[in-house]
Amino acid sequence: MSDWTTADMPRQDGVIAAVTGANSGIGFVAARELARAGATTVLAVRNLDKGSEAAEKIRADVPDADVTVRRLDLADLSSVRGFADELAASHDGLDLLVNNAGVMAIPQRSTADGFEMQLGTNHLGHFALTGLLLGRLRKRARPRVVTVASSAHHYGRIDFDNLQGERRYRPWAVYCQSKLANLLFTQELRRRAEAAGLPLTAVAAHPGYAATNLQGVGPQMASNRLVGAVGGAIMAIGNTVFAQSEELGALPTLYAATMPDLAGGSYVGPDRMREMWGHPTLVKPSRAARDPETARRLWEISEELTNVRYDF
């Protein structure tokens, strides 16, 4: 897969795809390129105005793009259910779900259902979404779920005694935990689908370090203005000096989403500078991300918290 680009992407005609957080960054580029390749693409966004703007940008670039915008707030389970119901009503099935949306290292906040915001958005929201869409995915011959993780997962641990920062909230540790959860989810989804004989491919990807809005959100939300300004400036310098473009950052996700015969459980990331930059290659999840017992436990807790049970 040396220097794989979107030019190497197979056509996606007939594919129905949904991308969460498709209005900006990695999700936007992934949705645009899927649409360019012929996929019917649903932009799942929490802000419909931003989503419509993104759809217009895609149509300006790809005039025959088949894109629609639908509201999905992963930090609100009633919105996740609403999105899944709408999708079920409007689309016959779903070939590809890209669990991409995320927040990083933000101050402590709660979702509508009282979950810690980073775990709630990055993991629990996508856990519920995938489970609620399983019926649509099952309708297709070779459904695929791509979940966007991060190299940050290497620094994460699932702290079952402080899963939602109840005892102590450290924004980065909580982000790393949520990204580790993305990989454990992928492994457990693969295992459970396989055990049920469901031909669903569950894979993960990460963009390396890409300049997107992600790095600015935490500093913008800081309660102390000075801390926010300094944090924002550091992130902006980092994005200018060290980060690759969102176009390159989206390639691992697109590879994971479209390459045939990719083995279930694969993890795709950039091939250079300790996975910070470059073109897609298979990368190795941490040992913690491969631990089946943690994956099983997290799955069961996620089912309990979200009240979504997968009907394999």
Which residues make up the interface to ligand NAP (CB under 6 A)?
20-21, 23-27, 46-47, 50, 72-75, 100-104, 121, 148, 150, 206-207, 209-210, 212-214, 249
In the complex, the smallest distance separating the C-beta of residue 253 from ligand NAP, rounded to whole angstroms, is 8
Per annotation, catalytic residue among 169, 175, 255, 310: 175
Q: Give the residues across from 116 on adjacent strands.
A: 110
In the complex, the smallest distance separating the C-beta of residue 2 from ligand NAP, rounded to whole angstroms, is 22
Q: Note if 175 is an active site residue.
A: yes
Best CA proximity match to 66, nearest among 31, 30, 96, 35: 35
In the complex, the smallest distance separating the C-beta of residue 251 from ligand NAP, rounded to whole angstroms, is 12
In the complex, the smallest distance separating the C-beta of residue 148 from ligand NAP, rounded to whole angstroms, is 4
Q: Which is nearer to ligand NAP, 101 or 140 (CB)?
A: 101
In the complex, the smallest distance separating the C-beta of residue 225 from ligand NAP, rounded to whole angstroms, is 21
Q: What are the Cα distances from residue 225, in Å, to 105, 106, 115, 228?
A: 16, 14, 26, 5
Q: Which is nearer to ligand NAP, 175 or 299 (CB)?
A: 175
Q: What are the Cα distances from residue 207, in Å, to 61, 75, 167?
A: 23, 23, 31
Query: Which alpha helices (H) appear in the chain, and where do they start and end?
Result: 25-36, 48-61, 77-90, 117-118, 126-138, 171-195, 214-221, 225-241, 246-249, 251-258, 292-306
Residue 34 near residue 41 (C-beta atoms within 8 A): yes
Neighbours of 162 (CB within 10 A): 16
Considering Cα of 176, then 177, then 179, then 184, what sign does the dihedral take?
A: positive
Q: Which is nearer to ligand NAP, 140 or 215 (CB)?
A: 215
Residue 289 near residue 180 (C-beta atoms within 8 A): yes
Residue 116 near residue 165 (C-beta atoms within 8 A): yes
CA distance 273 to 120: 31
Considering Cα of 94, then 201, then 22, then 259, what sign does the dihedral take?
A: negative
In the complex, the smallest distance separating the C-beta of residue 297 from ligand NAP, rounded to whole angstroms, is 22
Q: Which is nearer to ligand NAP, 56 or 311 (CB)?
A: 56
Q: Which is nearer to ligand NAP, 213 or 281 (CB)?
A: 213
CA distance 291 to 78: 31
Length of the chain as a residue count: 312
Q: Which is nearer to ligand NAP, 31 or 163 (CB)?
A: 31
Would you please indicate which residues are annotated as catalytic (active-site) residues?
Answer: 175
